[in-house]
Structure 1
């Protein structure tokens, strides 16, 4: 079994969503759609409350502030990403650490299908300039987690200089997301996957 042979990709505690009231769930669902499709700064609490069919007071009672709602949106998106990767790995059944790395890249193709806005975390990092914003630890943590996975799988594969390899893989992965969004490159994920495969084939072993 994959989870017996290789490092477990998804943190089960991370994948567990916090309990919300029905109103809280509607607010977060509405905010998630509006933030991703229209941008965090352009969407106000009035629009979110109206889309969720609640009052602004209810929104503030449930989340405290728009900033905390932004953080909750990204936390949910992070859980969805982890669960999606779990499903992708179960479907692809990679048998080696190198195949796990490539599966993480290949998953981008399906994740981005039908989307025109790219990575919600990268988009949010551009809009949220303040380093002490409540959502910044979620954004930074999501990227650090992926780099750590690349490094862990590289070590399992017996590759040398795993930190450097993980840095290059992360640049390929994140570059694909930016290219898809900014450069209107619909096959960015496929190109990045091929580049990652070439990098792994030529990387020296320890």
Structure 2
């Protein structure tokens, strides 16, 4: 009888599984990647994988949830390194540009997941919406700290830059969105009685 697997080993195996699944799903698409490919990449037996996540759908939700925490934490760490509130908000677009320039950039993992499965999987749709709401709240909180600055329009600029960069391959969309966000912020400062949010 094999020795029982320690909690530490289970934790390492789960992380390896999530790493492998995230890489494959982001590179190839969720529907194009079968569980055998995930098993091979993770180096784990299917029985162990299904012990962690009973369905592929559960695995996808776990991948997106973990990626959300890491992605938004990296964005926050970058933005929060600036002291000036306007610089802080606008630096979010600089961070996006760095992401767009990264090797292997394939757009927004949550928009990609929605495009593949969002209309057929309520739990994946819920996870995508949760991420988008959290991301928008991050941007909105930095916008609100500047003045009576717009919030939703600035969020839409960030989202539009992400989608456009993914489709066109032009990382410069981040700087175009940044320039537009700066105009909105300054308009909010000039006319605080008429916030654009």
Q: What residue is the counterpart of 2:89 in the other structure?
A: 101
Which of 1 and 2 has higher RCO (CA within 8 Å, sep 6+)? 1
Say yes or no: does 1:118 pair with 2:103: no
Q: Flag structure 1 segments of 5+ consecutive residues without an equivalent.
A: 1-18
**Kept after mapping to 2: 8 A contact 1:89/1:103:** yes
Distance in 2 (CA, whole Å) between partners of 1:168 and 1:157 is 14
Unaligned runs of 5+ in 2: 1-8
Q: Which moved more, 1:31-40 or 1:179-188?
A: 179-188
Question: Which digits, 9 at most, give the CA deviation of each residue in 1:3-50, with x for residues without a partner?
Answer: xxxxxxxxxxxxxxxx96222111111001000000011101010001
Give the superposed CA RMSD: 2.0
Corresponding residue of 2:181: 196
Structure ID, larger Rg:
2
TM-score by length of 2: 0.83
Q: TM-score, normalised by structure 1?
A: 0.80
SS of the aligned residue for 1:117 comes to coil
The DSSP-based 3-state class of the residue aligned with 2:151 is helix
Deviates more, 1:103-112 or 1:23-32: 103-112
Aligned residue-pair number: 182
Q: How many angstroms does 1:84 deviate by?
A: 0.5
Contact 1:147 1:170 in 2 (8 A): yes
8 Å contact from structure 1 (residues 94, 103) kept in 2: no
